[in-house]
Amino acid sequence: MKTKRRVGVLMGGPSRERDISIKSGKAVSQALKNKGIDVVPVELMECSAMNGYREFVKQQILSCNIDIAFIALHGEFGEDGMIQRLLEEVNIPYTGSRIDASKLGMDKISSKDIFKLNNISIPRYTVIHNKDKLNAQQYFTILGCPLVVKPSSEGSSIGLSIVESENDFYIAIDIAFKYSDSVIIEEYIQGREITVGILEDKPLPIVEIIPKRKFFDFKAKYEKGLTEYKVPASIDKTQYDACQRMALEAHKALGAHFFSRVDMILSNNGIPVVLEVNTIPGLTEMSLLPKAALAAGVDFEGLILKILKSVE
């Protein structure tokens, strides 16, 4: 790949993770500039309705006259295959996973189906599509207490709750339905929260996440001082290897390309359990994938350059 080609860093967009995306995009842009790459930051607008949005974005991207798109978009219109499809239509190569893998990674229900087919350990769960005639006690009986309630298609723990009472259960259901037409009710796995970055389709050192709040929610993820990170995690070698192996299996099962981040729980029984695969994880120097890469000897600028050079 010729470094003289013009790279557009796509950021912003219409999702609830817009602000995080802009931080990722700015960090990526600066890293590429530091490496002498011709960079154009492309901040996609917000929108309240998707009518006409896709065509507007297409024209915005074409007007920038870029040769390659570095996708730093999170959530809707970034990780769900929509921007990937648009870029393929206009023949602009792009970083990261292709259309189908992006859609699967964003859709927690579809990705769980894929994991089950590939014998990848996941929490027990059920899916509901409306709030009619819900019986909270039924779910506590089947899946245990506490329960995890979350939208089927949001990232950054948006709309996610951990509940231990019937009253909190119904509140959590109402919250989750604000973000998605389908809601996942899932067993809570007791254990250590970890994430395994994938780079060059190989697992990186494991990061252990130790939130100072009840769980690793949106606030714990993005406010300084609310979470401690240990990388590499202090885990028994046999379990460590098993976590990395399962993370790579999840990455491959979805068809993710070159890099991703696999969020997991190492249960108290020593069993790695996959929660989700992020096909476009956060890309600031403080984000989890860059932390893992640095532990493997790849600094932030080196990581971003590797991702760019992965574009065929």
The answer to whether 260 touches 278, Cβ cutoff 8 Å, is: yes
Beta bridge partners of 149: 161, 185
Q: Which phi and psi angles does 230 have, rounded to 5°?
A: -120, 120
Amino acid sitting at position 163: V
Catalytic residues: 17, 156, 222, 261, 263, 276, 278, 282
CA distance 127 to 106: 16
CA distance 194 to 271: 12
What is the maximal distance between C-alpha atoms in the chain?
A: 61
Exposure of 98 by Cβ count < 10 A (0-12 exposed, 13-18 middle, 19+ buried)? middle
Query: Residue 157, SS3?
Result: coil
Q: Does an H or E element contain 203, and which?
A: strand 202-211
State the Rg of the chain over Cα.
19
